[in-house]
Amino acid sequence: MNDTTPRAVQFGIFSVSDITEDPTTGQTPSEAEKIRNAVTIAKHAEEVGLDVFALGEHHNPPFWSSSPTTTLAYIAAQTERLILSTATTLITTNDPVKIAEDYAMLQHLSGGRVDLTLGRGNTGPVYPWFGQDIRQGLPLAIENYALLHKLWREDVVDWEGKFRTPLQGFTSTPRPLDGVAPFVWHGSIRTPEIAEQAAYYGDGFFANNIFWPKEHYQRLITLYRQRFAHYGHGTPEQAIVGLGGQVFMAAKSQDAVARFRPYFDNAPVYGHGPALEDFADMTPLTVGSPQQVIDRYAAMRDTFGDYQRQLFLIDHAGLPLKTVLEQLDILGGEVVPVLRRELAKDRPAEVPDGPTHAARVRAVYGEGPTREARPRANRGDNLSGPSPYQDQPAAPVLAGSAFGAAATRKGA
């Protein structure tokens, strides 16, 4: 395993994988070019000292990333330390059995350098493309994750739910690396039920922190922290929080604004809407000098408390590869080293570091040997050795809780 360096806060970037015309040249890159660029960007993120590269999942133009695990596995083969994550894995339209298989495989191939952010997705047509109904988005998210959670922690699963065929004596393969499931973040822009879901399982909660004022996300994160403690996973301060963010930098703030404005004005999501200055005032978007970015993001702790992961969006809206790599140089060389020091100041000892596979393995096994899955000779669907989870108490279930109902369906 290569992710052994503890980081109080993990810093990185996330990509939504849009293919957008560069408004300054009129050129639109090809899918092949954007895919190659993503690999280059991820490798450079590691080179400049960042911790995480996260990739979104989309199934419609103008986005190219329909198979994040394929791309992340390719990046894993060309990096050594970088944690590979998603910035969103669609828990509603993907089969949880396939998610269990794909991300366990990526765990093995990357040496444990993988986690994932689950979300419902906000593109309505995707649901019927995959045989689902968007009106069932929340029930799908609840039930599918209950099954995914079970598949990673039980060697042989009997399960019955509402949205897929039952499972009898099913073993998801490969089993999670070292018998420890990938860490899961639950991502949300506006849905308190997802914050509740993250808290129920003791998982992480990732707030997009791009499109709304910080107070909007503060409410979701406060709810998550309170419910995390309610379910017995620790104090509110020990909950695992991740934040998004968006920056564009230059040595002089006026140069940053002038360079970024045409990209902002034509961006697929917020282009042709509020003025750049208004949007930056209302949201965490920071366009300016490195020091302005440091000041604004060091202050995030005042709003959200001590947290574990900070990701930045820097490669969207048609920005050319050269510019993105320049932004990475500034981020890794001038901004992140200072933010690491600022966010470490007076950080309580009981607040967890950013999650890694190595740390999670130590939490289960201490310094002892890890579990390696091997099929039994007399039963191909079972595995030898005890599960590290089998003696752990189940998460508490509130009466009437949708999460409890999903987790305790027949056979669960």
Structural domain contains residue 343 = yes
In a domain, 184, yes or no: yes
Closest by CA position to 136, among listed 407, 402, 411, 408? 402
The mean predicted confidence, pLDDT, of the chain is 88
The string of pLDDT tens digits covering residues 296-333 is 999 999 999 999 999 999 999 999 999 999 999 999 99
> Does some domain include residue 106?
yes
Instruction: Kindly report the pTM of this predicted structure.
Output: 0.89
Of the candidates 384, 386, 287, 320, the one whose C-alpha atom is nearest the C-alpha of residue 41 is: 320
pLDDT of residue 410 exceeding 50, the answer is no
- Identify the CATH number of the domain in which residue 99 sits: 3.20.20.30
Asked if residue 4 is part of any domain, the answer here is no
pLDDT band at 394 (very low <50, low <70, confident <90, very high): very low
pLDDT-derived band at 405 (thresholds 50, 70, 90) equals: low
Q: How far apart, in whole angstroms, are the C-alpha atoms of residue 213 and residue 283?
A: 5
Higher pLDDT: 7 or 41? It is: 41
Residue 248 sits at φ, ψ, to 5 deg, of -145, 130
Q: How does pLDDT run across 11-52, given as a tens digit for each residue?
A: 999 998 888 999 999 999 999 999 999 999 999 999 999 999
Q: Which of 121-125, 214-218, 330-334 has maximum average pLDDT?
A: 330-334
Q: How many domains does the chain have?
A: 1
Residue 238 pLDDT exceeds 70: yes
In a domain? residue 305: yes
Write down the pLDDT at residue 59: 80
Q: Does 412 reside within a domain?
A: no
Residue 2 belongs to some domain of the structure: no
Q: Which residues, other chains included, contact 34 with Cβ-Cβ below 8 Å and sequence gap of 6+?
A: 17, 19, 64
Window from 24-38, 156-170, 268-282, 303-317 with minimum mean pLDDT = 268-282
Which region among 124-138, 217-231, 249-263, 346-360 has the lowest average model confidence (pLDDT)?
A: 124-138
DSSP state of 339: H
Percent of the chain, pLDDT > 90?
Answer: 70
Residue 368's pLDDT is what?
Answer: 83
Tokens of 43: 């490798």
Domain that holds residue 345: 10-407
For residue 1, being part of any structural domain is answered with no
Could you tell me the CA-to-CA distances from 45 to 39, 51, 82, 325, 339 in Å, in that order?
A: 10, 8, 8, 8, 16
